[in-house]
Structure 1
Amino acid sequence: MLRLIESKATVWAVFILVAFSYAMGLIVSLADPDLWGYMAFGYTFWTEPGFPYTDPFSYMPVNPVWIYHEWLTGVIFFPLYAGIGEEALQALRYIFAFLTLFLAYAAAKKRGAQTSLALMGLFFPAFAICTGYGPVRAQVFTYFFFALTLYLLETCRLSQRFKPLWLFPPVILLWCNLHGGFVAGLAVIGLYAAGEFLSRKPWKPYLFILAPCLAATLINPYGWAYWPYLIKAILMPRPEIYEWMSIWKAMSMGFKHLSIPLFMGLFPLALLFCLKPLQKNWSAVLVLAAVSWMAFSHMRHIPFMGIAMAALLPSGADYFIKTKSREASILLGAALLSMACLAVLNANVVWAHFQYPHVLRNPLSIEALPESQVLPGQMAYPVDGVAFLREKGLHGNILTEFDWGQFVMWSLPDSKVSMDGRYETVYPDKVCREYFAFAYGRPGAGEYLTKYPHEMALLKDRSITSAQLAASPDWLLAYKGDGCAVFVHKKFWEER
């Protein structure tokens, strides 16, 4: 069996399967709502004097200081998009996706996994990792740095040479300005310190490097204020945002996102391969336990689990293969059967995507599409509603859907929005609660319409919000398009 696993034919076969899976899994990109926020911030940063410490995009009450933990992502994304086009952002996504895969593979090899098993380790969590790299957003940096962190920590742990740890302060400095996910990197370093302590191996270097890493996080436009905001953001519940739901809540609400069965399949596999071979490697056990808990708690964290599995589990599979036991044969058979099933699932998902003309027309596009043209699970945007407002020369305070706010910010720079996906970075808790009461038709929804100076509304045409405005004598339906409706307040219309 070991000879079969190590054969060149097996290595090439698995490599081709892995390459195909990731190429197909990454080919369809989502126009994520946050992307438009990056563009709007980047435009403001590069064209306006001074750093934008206060929000310029909303007419609602906002926080005194806008702490935008993804600010550097916007600074990088905007000139790429404006100067080269959306293809530049897609190229960036592909580069970081494959660098992440390479680092996970390199960590597995460094831990002693055979080449074919290290490649299999990339195959099983392929969908989990691809869900993180589907949209072009700041997380493309976070997942790369997470894989780099695991690789560097494994390098130090196995060699017992700790100079590479000094790469972490500059990495954390860059990471904390690109995305708040740098906290995952600090947490993994701390887990390695605890794991090496439990394994009775040198642990102090990992703990000591945390001090300069924490100091590096203070080098940002907001200084000390960054951390109070970040702690609040990490701990705050976001029940209205789907990707922040737990696996169980999403299942109970009927969500059929691919990441749910993905996770349910990956978690027992992780347990199966880590219980015995990793019992003397507490660092890996703690990291796998942490990322599993993260994935259970919030679906957006499933890619962390996929990366950690790819980096840490193949050496465990290698352990089973080398035992030459019946148990190893059963596990190998189960792994091959699972690979076949996942390959079929991959092919079905990709085939479904290619049924949409715009995917074949320009697979490198990041196109905002109306409801009639989106893929299953893809975000639909009020494209013709925005076009209507432009055509009529209407600009002012626009009451928007939560997911559309950043798109409206970017598409209609002469207008301001009521709420958008920047959420806690901009809006006080009270304003957020009032908005979601309106969005879900809860008590106080009517008060939200009269309390604030809304002049227009761009809403989903079959939503609770549209129904509320349609029933109000103060609002006029000005346009109904592909999945969206434009309402105008009577007073605003009369004053034009």
Structure 2
Amino acid sequence: MDYSRFYRPLIQFFVYTYSLNTFTYAYVDPDLYGHITFGREIWEQGRVPEIDTYSYTAYGHEWINHEWLMEVFMFLLYDVWGSPGLLLVRVLLGLSIIHILSQLYFAKANNLFAYALYFICLAHALGLGFAMRPQLITYLFIPMMMYILHQYFDGNKRGLFLLPVIFLIWVNSHGGVVAGIGIFGVIVGVEAVRGLLYKTQTWKPLAVTWAVSAAMLFINPAGYHLLAFFAETIPYRRDITEWFPVTVFDDSHLFFKALVVLFFISLFSKKPKHAWEVLIIAAAIVYGFKHVRHTVLTSLLMTPFVPIHLAAVIERFQQGKTPRHLPRLVHVVVAWFLIGFAAFQINYQWFRWSGNEFQIQVKKFYYPVYEMRFLKENNLNGNILTLMNWGEYLIWHLPDSRVSVDGRYWTVYSPKLLRQNMIFHNGWEGWQHFLKFYRHDIILTHFNNMDLENLEGWVKIFQGPRARIFVRTSKPYHPAYLKYRQKQFRFNNEPPSWHFP
């Protein structure tokens, strides 16, 4: 009996259900509030806003929104199906990625141990980036692009026409399109050099497809200004955790590091390799260690190459050894174990989410939930000086207020402004100067800058478990300060709901 054919669907089902642990990430990303809000505005107004109206520090400033199409999609999804719809689509996107890459593997290899080992590590490596954000479209389109290109090199040229369509959607959905067109360009360049050296013509259809795909990048609401924005901002370092480097010699990002080790092992395979594959993966690994954010893209780019050549290394190691035939009872036990584990995973996720009514959760003590409720119930609005990660949370809950900064980062705000905002909230040297630059009405901040407690011209009106609220005491008096003096505030001690939003 051919046990590989018997085990393959079981192993695949095992990998897919194991991956659910990654794709059912329980908590809401800070930017989700903004993405749905901005998507609603675009849908209702029938156009993509060109200037900012959500902040008071950059009000009227040019806004390059390169994620508008995904934001409209996310708004419509939430408007029709709510939080469960967002969760379901995220799971479907994740499983689609695993399925595309699995099909690519089994088209060229059939070693089930190499498949299971690699894809379980991959599922963990993907976990870092699988929040409900527009970047999910990049995580889907990278495998789709690589699948189409590998099919082309295997003799199936029909899929090439899909690539310009993918890039047209991609450029209006997420900035990761730059990585996509760059990777495609490297493939075309390497194949063109090979074609000139060995007098082959396979590179020409690729070059034409790349040129058409590159032209698609100009079809977006900002036109060539979007590409200029990418060129200006991509090289700069960002003061965001996910843009920090991956430290090599510690226990962080272990599964990503495991995939890198497997890549170097796979290089010992004697199976023919495309030069562009090794080149792209080597560059991706450098970027993966340079920026935490890129570990997911690096892992995806390694997948069409590593498990296939890892399988060849394993089979080469086993060559000449007599295979050991196990009793049929052992195979039955293993099969039932795989089925049982997969069933456990499905049941675990079902009970986990049914207990939460299939709602995405607001992480306790990450967001200023109690403080936000105090502002809403007392009808306190104005210019709110807040942390970047809370900005879009405020935009959602206090639509009549404006924020100092939010997660749109350089698409709206200057690096200097973002830095000034960070200095203020952390109480670093010169933090007081930021108060002079803009007309702030309310401060919503965490506990890092304790000097605020004694700041002249401001008074603390509320303190919750996550944040403090201060209001300006100078004339003209803000309504919040007048309510504070007249002791008119309402205080709600009831526990809040932790369901999104």
Q: Deviations over 1:103-140 (max 9, x none)?
A: 1112222334446644543223110123322x111111
1:225 is matched with 225
Question: Please, what TM-score do these two structures have when normalized by structure 2?
Answer: 0.83
Question: Please, what TM-score do these two structures have when normalized by structure 1?
Answer: 0.83
Shift in alpha-carbon separation, 1:137–1:490, aligned structure 2, 3 A: same
Shift of 1:233: 2.4
**Maintained 8 Å contact 1:475/1:489:** yes
1:314 is matched with 307
- Between 1:485-494 and 1:199-208, the stretch displaced more is 199-208
* Residue 274 in structure 1 maps to residue 267 in structure 2: yes
**Maintained 8 Å contact 2:48/2:68:** no
**Maintained 8 Å contact 1:139/1:179:** yes
Describe the SS at the equivalent of 1:146.
helix
* Residue 484 in structure 1 maps to residue 484 in structure 2: no
| Identity across the alignment (%) | 28
1:365 aligned to which of 359, 381, 385: 359
CA distance in 2 between counterparts of 1:101 and 1:280 reads 22
1:381 is matched with 367
Shift of 1:15: 2.7
2:162 aligned to which of 160, 167, 183: 167
2:489 is matched with none
- Between 1:188-197 and 1:92-101, the stretch displaced more is 188-197
Question: Which protein is richer in helix relative to its size?
Answer: 1
Shift of 1:50: 4.6
Q: Deviations over 1:343-386 (max 9, x none)?
A: xxxx9xx99xx99x986622732222331xxxxxxxx1111111
* Residue 33 in structure 1 maps to residue 30 in structure 2: yes
CA distance in 2 between counterparts of 1:148 and 1:211 reads 18
Describe the SS at the equivalent of 1:487.
strand
1:332 is matched with none
1:339 is matched with none
Shift of 1:392: 0.6
The RMSD of aligned alpha carbons is: 2.9
**Maintained 8 Å contact 1:278/1:285:** no
Shift of 1:494: 4.5
Give the 5 Å matches for 1:127-276: 127-133=124-130, 135-159=131-155, 161-197=156-192, 202-238=202-238, 240-248=239-247, 260-276=253-269
* Residue 15 in structure 1 maps to residue 1 in structure 2: no
**Maintained 8 Å contact 1:139/1:181:** yes
> Which letter maps to 2:448?
S
CA distance in 2 between counterparts of 1:198 and 1:93 reads 40
CA distance in 1 between counterparts of 2:244 and 2:270 reads 32
Describe the SS at the equivalent of 1:323.
helix
Describe the SS at the equivalent of 2:471.
strand
CA distance in 2 between counterparts of 1:265 and 1:84 reads 38
The count of corresponding residues between Structure 1 and Structure 2 is 452
**Maintained 8 Å contact 2:115/2:307:** yes
- Between 1:318-327 and 1:59-68, the stretch displaced more is 318-327
**Maintained 8 Å contact 1:87/1:365:** yes
2:71 is matched with 74
CA distance in 1 between counterparts of 2:106 and 2:5 reads 16
> Which letter maps to 1:243?
E
* Residue 299 in structure 1 maps to residue 295 in structure 2: no
> Which letter maps to 1:220?
N
CA distance in 1 between counterparts of 2:173 and 2:4 reads 42
Describe the SS at the equivalent of 2:14.
helix
CA distance in 1 between counterparts of 2:126 and 2:321 reads 27
Shift of 1:320: 2.1
Describe the SS at the equivalent of 1:129.
helix
Describe the SS at the equivalent of 2:34.
helix
CA distance in 2 between counterparts of 1:19 and 1:50 reads 39
CA distance in 2 between counterparts of 1:80 and 1:16 reads 28
Shift of 1:13: 5.0
Shift in alpha-carbon separation, 1:359–1:384, aligned structure 2, 3 A: farther
Shift of 1:247: 0.5
